[in-house]
């Protein structure tokens, strides 16, 4: 539901928040956790606006926001992780976001008080927004599933269950990293083509995966399921996610139980969590082609059909070491849109809890690689290079089939349309470092 926080005419007294192409206008106000860089300060919650962070611990100490019932929400959001705030539920999330929107608006009498609580983003160290207890990665893009299936099963690209079930697997939350942290090329066991026995060594086929992820807010008790129409009230917000993959390791180990070491070595997420409320102006009807199987009743509803999709533009950029040395801008490899996803975020939550699985505040659910229908909308190198058979040509003469040491991968996401403020997600960025052999 739209409210005053979505007003595209609202301006902030912070000039950088009013830039037309900025990620963090006053209509966004994403939450994260930070401290001043190169300091021993405690991490605490913050909200991004323009090029600044509103230090929520400083706001709490200042007494600048004193609306009835707001103290508990502000106190929870100011903690060293956002878990308690996520657990507080949609009423608390919305109340704090509204109070901040009013306080940051042009003409607000709280400008001086909040102005003293700002920290420049460039001077901040950002960390994971929440203590992530569990991580599930889905396979929600049919374009990705079909294109990958054609590489390995050309006679039957989609398995029979794909159009009936949101497919997922349990990932490793201990190796989830925040944007900016480098990753190491992993070691793994592989069986190269034409070789009789496997060997251990650095993976030669490191790939990225362009994804979104949702943070669970309020959870559910063990044994209780979440209905599809209630699912979004349990979602705190979305961020970008790069599910790094060792494709050669994956090819050897994935049967019969699915991804393991090929996926667990690193996952990168963006530091700012964009609330579902901020994304309301970009809601779209969720559709399923008439010729496809329609969702079973627990995955379908009138509300889902009306507003279950979200128009989020996504892109992947690559900057090689050669490009970095030449001070060349990153090259865009592909772009896609979350609106084309086969399964919605509400359906992911509803299916995850169908068996009574209990989700908890701070749990992370990835969408899986978000590819579009056209080849240039592929969300990973596995698709773009046809399984490594077709090299990509870069502007400086380099080529890539998979990532090389020193490469930096950057994911970006944003919402934009006439009549609404641009809502950005920032970046999920990481550089691939050489394998550690000892």
pLDDT of 66 reads 85
Q: What is the CATH number of domain 135-433?
A: 3.90.850.10
Pairing type for strands 235-242 and 210-216 reads antiparallel
Chain centroid offset of residue 147 CA: 22
Which strands form 52-55's sheet, in the order they lie side by side?
Answer: 118-120, 52-55, 44-49, 31-36, 124-127
pLDDT of 338 reads 98
pLDDT of 381 reads 98
Sign, CA torsion 261/262/266/268: negative
What's the rounded Cα separation, in Å, for the pair 186 and 262?
Answer: 8
Please compute Rg for the chain using Cα positions.
22
Please give the average pLDDT of every successive group of 10 residues along the chain, which has 438 residues: 96 97 98 97 98 98 90 97 98 97 97 97 98 98 96 92 96 97 98 92 98 98 98 98 97 91 97 98 97 98 98 98 95 97 98 98 98 96 96 95 98 97 98 94
What's the rounded Cα separation, in Å, for the pair 81 and 97?
Answer: 17
158 three-class SS:
coil
The ranges of the chain annotated as CATH 2.30.30.230 are 4-127
Residues assigned a catalytic role:
144
The ranges of the chain annotated as CATH 3.90.850.10 are 135-433
What's the rounded Cα separation, in Å, for the pair 330 and 296?
Answer: 43
113 three-class SS:
helix
pLDDT of 69 reads 82
pTM of whole model > 0.95?
yes
| Residue 378, Cβ density class (10 Å: 0-12 exposed, 13-18 middle, ≥19 buried) | buried
Pairing type for strands 187-190 and 309-310 reads unpaired
Q: What is the CATH number of domain 4-127?
A: 2.30.30.230
């Amino acid at each position: 539901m739209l409210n005053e926080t979505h007003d595209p005419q609202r301006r902030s007294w912070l000039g950088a928040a009013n830039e037309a192409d900025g990620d963090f206008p006053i209509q966004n106000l994403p939450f994260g956790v930070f401290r001043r860089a190169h300091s021993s300060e405690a991490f605490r919650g913050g909200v991004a606006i323009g090029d600044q962070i509103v230090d929520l611990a400083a706001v709490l100490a200042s007494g600048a926001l004193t609306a009835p019932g707001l103290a508990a929400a502000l106190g929870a959001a100011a903690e060293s992780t956002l878990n308690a705030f996520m657990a507080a539920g949609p009423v608390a999330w919305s109340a704090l976001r509204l109070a901040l929107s009013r306080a940051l608006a042009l003409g607000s009498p709280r400008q001086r008080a909040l102005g003293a609580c700002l920290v420049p983003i460039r001077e901040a160290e950002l960390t994971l927004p929440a203590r992530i207890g569990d991580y599930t990665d889905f396979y929600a893009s049919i374009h990705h599933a079909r294109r990958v299936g054609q590489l390995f099963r050309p006679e039957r690209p989609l398995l029979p269950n794909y159009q009936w079930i949101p497919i997922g697997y349990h990932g490793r939350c201990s190796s989830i990293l925040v944007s900016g942290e480098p990753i190491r090329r992993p070691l793994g066991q592989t069986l190269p083509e034409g070789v009789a026995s496997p060997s251990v060594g650095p993976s030669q086929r490191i790939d990225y995966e362009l994804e979104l992820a949702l943070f669970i807010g309020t959870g559910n008790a063990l044994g209780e399921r979440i209905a599809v129409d209630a699912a979004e009230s349990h979602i705190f917000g979305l961020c970008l996610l790069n599910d790094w993959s060792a494709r050669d390791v994956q090819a050897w180990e994935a049967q019969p139980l699915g991804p393991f070491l090929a996926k667990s070595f690193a996952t990168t997420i963006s530091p700012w969590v964009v609330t579902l409320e901020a994304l309301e102006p970009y809601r779209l009807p969720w559709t399923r082609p008439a010729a496809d199987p329609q969702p079973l009743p627990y995955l379908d509803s009138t509300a889902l059909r009306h507003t279950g999709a979200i128009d989020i533009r996504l892109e992947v950029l690559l900057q090689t070491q050669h490009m970095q040395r030449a001070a060349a801008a990153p090259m865009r490899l592909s772009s896609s849109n979350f609106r084309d996803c086969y399964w919605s975020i509400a359906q992911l939550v509803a299916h995850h809890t169908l068996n009574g699985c209990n989700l908890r505040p701070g749990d992370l659910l990835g969408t899986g690689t978000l590819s579009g229908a056209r080849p240039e909308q592929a969300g990973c190198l596995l698709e773009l290079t046809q399984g490594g058979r077709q090299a990509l040509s870069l502007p400086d003469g380099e080529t890539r089939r998979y990532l090389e040491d020193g490469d930096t991968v950057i994911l970006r996401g944003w919402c934009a349309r006439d009549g609404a403020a641009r809502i950005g997600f920032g970046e999920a960025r990481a550089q691939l470092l050489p394998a550690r052999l000892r």
